[in-house]
Structure 1
Amino acid sequence: MTHYVVTSVRINDEGRNGELFMWAKVDPSVNRGRCLEKPHIASMEDIIAAIRDGNVVEMTFEAGIGTVSGGKLLEAHLPSGEVTVIEERANPGRMISDLPRF
């Protein structure tokens, strides 16, 4: 199993979903994960494929105490049939829409 952290997002034109994400593989045994590669852009499809393959995809946020987890991203199916990602814990200030933009 691979562990990824997502640190920023590009929101689609409707302003609802992330369409691109900045992510990197990390070593989760190190405090909040040490990057094993340079952060790079991933599509929604990349994120969903990683989740389906059993990998952990976690959001991280910078805070006054350092980097904090926003929880994992999970696959979700919309009524329209579209597949997207949602927050495992939708806590205010720690949601996809709260990630920095790129």
Structure 2
Amino acid sequence: MAHYVVTAVRINDDDEIELFMWAKANPAVSRGRYLENPHIASMEDIIAAIRDGDVVEMTFESGIGTVSGGKLLEGHLPSGEVTVTEERASPGRMIDDLPRF
């Protein structure tokens, strides 16, 4: 099981997620300790990782350092389309709150 850290998102003018910025990380060391350079991931990449049992976690920079925003989970829209959603969905730590690229 791999552990990925999502640090940024690209959202289009229709408020749809287009891409994520992520990297494989070692959660045993510390947040932000990447095992590879951060790179672009599609929605399909994120969903495939979740389905494979990998952990996909959002992180945010704060006054106390890097903090977790919780895991991303597979979700389903009313149309039946597959998407991702936040495990915790707490204010300030949601997909919409990630930095944009």
TM-score bin (small chain): over 0.9
Q: Gapped runs of 5+ residues in structure 1? A: none
Question: Which residue number corresponds to residue 21 of structure 1?
Answer: 20
RMSD of aligned alpha carbons:
0.8
Q: Work out the CA distance in 2 between the residues paired with 1:29 and 1:22.
A: 21
Q: Normalised by the size of structure 1, how large is the TM-score?
A: 0.96
Q: Counterpart amino acid of 2:7?
A: T
Question: Which residue number corresponds to residue 5 of structure 1?
Answer: 5
**TM-superposition CA deviations, 1:19-76 (whole Å, max 9, x none):** 1000000001012251000000000000000000000000000000000000000000
Contact kept, 8 Å, 2:32 with 2:66, in 1: the verdict is: no
Q: Work out the CA distance in 2 between the residues paired with 1:12 and 1:75.
A: 20
Q: Work out the CA distance in 1 between the residues paired with 2:32 and 2:95.
A: 19
The reply on whether 1:93 has 2:88 as its aligned counterpart is: no
Q: Work out the CA distance in 2 between the residues paired with 1:12 and 1:71.
A: 23
Contact kept, 8 Å, 2:24 with 2:34, in 1: the verdict is: yes
Q: Normalised by the size of structure 2, how large is the TM-score?
A: 0.97
**Distance apart, 1:13 and its partner CA:** 2.4
Q: Tell me the matched-pair count.
A: 101
Question: Which residue number corresponds to residue 70 of structure 1?
Answer: 69
